[in-house]
Each structure stands twice: as structure tokens, then as C-alpha cells.
């Protein structure tokens, strides 16, 4: 979308640089003369909307249900995505507004997912299914960036506007799939057997009146809730920083653009694998009673936060001459982020199924806020000296944040329904048994 420029020297032995506009790949499509500040404003405006909608989105999802929340997000995001080429042509102000609206709508996504999952997940499979649900973000990182690049640089496909229309179409398609096949309650799903419905219902908490007020004060003052919020904020602080600023660091280390494209895709693939494996492993550990639920969450928190902290800290001992070692440490740190589902995200349902969507809203709000902090700190650090040494200082700051969040979680995390959560019950041995075991015991 932005005008691209070529830098060439006028004379072979001259340092004088001539800047010329390159329109060879635009195929007569409109381009925009946006400076770096304008581009950052447009890109960041999404998160401005996301910050303000996290908590209201959790409340609204609780009122309208998970399925409706997800469908609304898909339809509105598809519509807004299709509007972006037009909005960009009108002006940056309108484009920024559209991006803010996309962020506001996005606040319904995670609460909606939790509202749906809470009806379909039993304790013995909780980590596995939450990990599966959130592993989709890893696949998006691997697939969407190359897809957008391919479409945007292909005149025969229509160039950059087509990339927005493509995602608009995919949103509409997924909305149709959700309408047809997703159900908030197993009772309403015609494809689920009566036996499975009874099994899922056996784990539900006591029925409560949906009009009962949300215990806001108890939620906001719960150390169990804040242990999750702090841990996820620390994770997002490093995750967004590595994801957005990592390519710039690889340039500092001397890698070319082609190598960077490959190196940035590998961690996302590994993260996807780790996300699924850690979720399944957590359930096995709990079912076989190697560790109880709380200690399992703490174990994966140590892996999730502790290993990246060590990797990021030790990057500071390497310079441009040890680029391979730096890449390996950075990859391991990013990959271990996949264990967040087996630690923090699953823990949300364990402390309150009834109000999990509210807690998720708080978590996403905090995560969106810290997403801005990393690049700001880096900008201050490298303002005068953009070297690997200055970057290593930034990585050590992130490592310190990880250690703090890990200790906070280990001190205050809980793994049982809290007293302020309606329908309070404690987990029983029955909750750890699989579906097949219950079938066998019933004699069927």
C-alpha cells in the first residue's frame, strides 16, 4: 500500500545516493505516501480499540453467548476488512477509524471462545482442548503473512486490495460454518449422542440465575485472577516484541531478507507443535496423578516463563559474531511461549467457569496494554546506538519481567473454583476420569 523507493548510487565511487520511486510492481494500483509515523499510527490503532473492548467484550459475551459473539466478530471483521481499500483511498483518518473499530470488535473473540469451550470441555481434557483452540494463532502466523505477501505482490490477482477481500471472504465463510455447526450447549447439537450429552452435563456446576450480578469486586481483588493476568501480560510483552521487532534484530545480526523470512516462520511452527504437546501432556500428568492440578499449572509456568527468561538473558553474552547462537536462543524463547495454554489460559476455567469470559476480558486488556511498551523501551535504548549490545539490554529487561511474573504466579495461583464463583464445587476424582472409563464402568 505504501510507495516503495529504490536507493542507487549515481557514480560507482561516490557516496551520493539517488532516491527514485519504483512502481514496477504496483500494476497501476493506488499507493500512499505515508511516513513511518503515519504507518505506525494506522497499525497501532487496532490495539487502541482492543484495549477498550476487552472487559466490555467479556461482559457482553456472557449476555449473548459464545456462538453469537464469534459469529458477530467474523461478520463485522469481514465487513471492515472489505472496507479498508476504500477507507485508505478516502484518507488516513477514516482508515484509522476502521482499524480502531476492528480492535473494538476483536474484544469479543476470546471471551466468546471461552463461553463456548466451558460447555464442551471436561476437566480431564481441559488442557488439550484449550491448547487446540488457541493453536490456530500459530498457524495464522505461518500462513497469513506469506499469503498476504503473495496476493499483494501479484498483479494478476489484483494486488494488495485483494488480500483484504480474501480475508473478508474467509471471515464470511467461517461465520457460515459457525452458524451451521457450532452450538453453545451440547443439548442443542443434533450431532451429539444422548450418552455424550449426559456425560458433559455431569460436570456442570450448579445452575444459577443468569441475571445474578457479576461479583466485580471479588474478581478484581482475587489474587488467583491477578496471577493469571500478570503472567499473560509478561508473556504478551515478550511475544509481541519478538514477533514485531525480531526481524529488525536479525538484520542487526547480519542476516539478509530471505534468511529472515525463513527464520521468522520456524518459531511459529515449533510453537504450534509445543502448544498441542504441552496441552496433551498436562492432561496426562493430571489424569495419572503425577502432579495435582495446581502443581501441573505451576510446572508448565516454570517451563513457559523460566526457559525463555534464561534464553533471553544469555543472549546478552553474544554479539554479531555469534549470530547463530543468538537465533537459537531466540527461537527457543519464542517456542516455549506455546505452553501458555497449558498454564495460564487453562487455569482461567479452573478458578471460575461461570465468569471465565470476564477474566479473559481482563487478561486480553492487560495483554494489549503491554504490547505497546516493548517497542517504546527499545526505541529509547537504540536511539543513540542501534547495536546488538543495546538489544541485549532489552532482552534482559524482558527476562526480568518473565521472572517476576513466574514468581507471582507460583505464589498466588489457584486451581479450584473460587468462593465468589457461582455454583462453587471442588473437583472430585470423577472429574479426572475419561469418557471411555465411565462408559466401561457403566457396563455399556
320-377 pLDDT, tens digit per residue, is 667 788 888 888 998 898 898 899 989 998 898 888 888 998 998 888 888 777 767 7
Beta bridge partners of 21: 5
Q: Is residue 416 within 8 Å of 426, Cβ to Cβ?
A: yes
Matching residue, cell 543468538: 326
The CA dihedral of 32, 37, 38, 44, to the nearest 10 degrees, is 130
Which position has the grid cell 468462593? Answer: 419
**Of 119, 125, 124, which is closest to residue 201 (Cα–Cα)?**
119
* Nearest one of 326, 354, 338 to 424, comparing CA atoms: 354
What pTM, to 2 d.p., does this model score? 0.80
Q: Please state, for a pLDDT cut of 90, what percent of the chain lies above it.
A: 30
Closest CA to 374 of 212, 216, 187, 240: 240
The rounded mean pLDDT for the chain is 81
Q: 19 φ, ψ to 5°?
A: -100, 125
Return the C-alpha cell found at 327: 537465533
Tell me the DSSP string of 256-294.
Answer: -HHHHHHHHHHHHHHHHHHHHHHHHHHHHHHHTTSS-HH
Confidence of residue 10 (pLDDT cuts 50, 70, 90): very low
At residue 11, the pLDDT reads 41
Check residue 36 and give its pLDDT: 64
User: Residue 428: its pLDDT value, please?
Assistant: 47
pLDDT higher at 170 or 116: 170
Q: For 182-223, write each residue's pLDDT tens digit.
A: 888 888 888 888 888 888 877 765 444 455 678 889 999 999
Q: How high is the pLDDT of residue 384?
A: 66
Q: For the segment 275-334, what is each residue's pLDDT rounded down to a tens digit?
A: 999 999 999 999 999 999 999 999 999 999 999 999 989 887 776 667 788 888 888 998
CATH class of 36-204+222-419: mainly alpha
Amino acid at each position: 500500500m505504501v510507495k516503495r523507493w529504490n536507493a542507487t548510487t549515481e557514480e560507482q565511487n561516490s557516496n551520493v545516493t539517488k532516491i527514485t520511486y519504483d512502481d514496477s510492481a504496483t500494476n497501476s494500483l493506488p499507493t500512499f505516501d505515508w511516513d513511518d509515523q503515519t504507518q505506525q499510527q494506522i497499525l497501532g490503532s487496532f490495539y487502541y480499540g482492543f484495549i477498550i473492548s476487552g472487559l466490555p467484550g467479556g461482559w457482553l459475551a456472557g449476555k449473548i453467548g459464545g456462538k453469537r459473539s464469534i459469529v458477530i466478530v467474523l461478520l463485522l471483521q469481514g465487513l471492515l476488512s472489505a472496507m479498508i481499500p476504500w477507507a485508505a483511498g478516502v484518507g488516513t483518518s477514516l482508515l484509522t477509524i476502521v482499524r480502531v473499530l476492528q480492535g473494538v470488535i476483536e474484544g469479543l473473540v476470546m471471551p466468546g471462545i471461552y463461553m463456548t469451550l466451558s460447555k464442551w470441555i471436561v476437566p480431564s481434557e481441559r488442557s488439550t482442548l484449550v491448547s487446540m483452540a488457541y493453536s490456530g494463532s500459530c498457524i495464522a502466523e505461518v500462513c497469513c503473512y506469506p499469503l498476504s505477501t503473495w496476493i499483494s505482490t501479484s498483479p494478476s490477482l489484483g494486488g494488495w486490495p485483494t488480500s483484504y477481500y480474501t480475508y473478508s471472504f474467509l471471515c464470511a465463510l467461517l461465520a457460515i460454518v459457525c452458524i451451521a455447526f457450532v452450538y453453545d450447549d451440547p443439548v442443542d447439537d443434533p450431532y451429539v449422542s444422548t450418552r455424550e450429552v449426559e456425560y458433559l452435563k455431569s460436570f456442570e456446576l450448579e445452575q444459577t440465575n443468569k441475571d445474578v450480578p457479576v461479583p466485580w469486586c471479588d474478581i478484581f481483588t482475587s489474587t488467583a485472577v491477578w496471577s493469571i493476568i500478570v503472567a499473560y501480560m509478561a508473556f504478551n510483552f515478550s511475544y509481541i516484541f519478538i514477533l514485531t521487532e525480531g526481524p529488525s534484530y536479525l538484520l542487526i545480526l547480519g542476516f539478509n531478507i530471505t534468511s529472515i523470512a525463513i527464520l521468522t516462520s520456524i518459531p511459529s511452527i515449533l510453537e504450534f507443535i509445543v502448544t498441542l504437546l504441552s496441552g496433551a501432556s498436562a492432561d496426562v500428568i493430571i489424569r495419572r496423578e503425577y502432579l495435582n492440578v495446581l502443581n501441573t499449572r505451576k510446572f508448565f509456568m516454570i517451563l513457559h516463563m523460566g526457559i525463555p527468561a534464561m534464553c533471553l538473558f544469555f543472549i546478552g553474552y553474544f554479539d554479531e559474531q555469534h549470530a547463530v547462537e543468538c537465533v537459537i536462543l531466540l527461537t527457543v524463547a519464542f517456542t516455549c511461549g506455546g505452553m501458555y495454554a497449558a498454564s495460564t489460559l487453562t487455569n482461567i476455567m479452573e478458578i471460575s467457569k461461570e465468569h471465565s469470559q470476564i477474566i479473559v476480558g481482563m487478561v486480553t486488556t492487560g495483554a494489549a496494554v503491554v504490547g505497546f511498551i516493548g517497542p517504546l523501551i527499545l526505541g529509547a535504548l537504540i536511539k543513540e546506538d542501534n547495536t546488538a549490545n543495546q538489544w541485549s539490554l532489552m532482552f534482559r529487561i524482558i527476562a526480568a519481567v518473565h521472572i517476576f511474573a513466574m514468581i507471582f504466579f507460583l505464589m498466588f495461583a489457584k486451581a479450584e473454583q473460587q468462593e465468589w464463583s457461582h455454583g462453587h464445587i471442588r473437583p472430585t476424582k470423577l472429574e479426572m476420569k475419561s469418557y471411555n472409563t465411565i462408559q466401561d464402568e457403566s457396563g455399556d
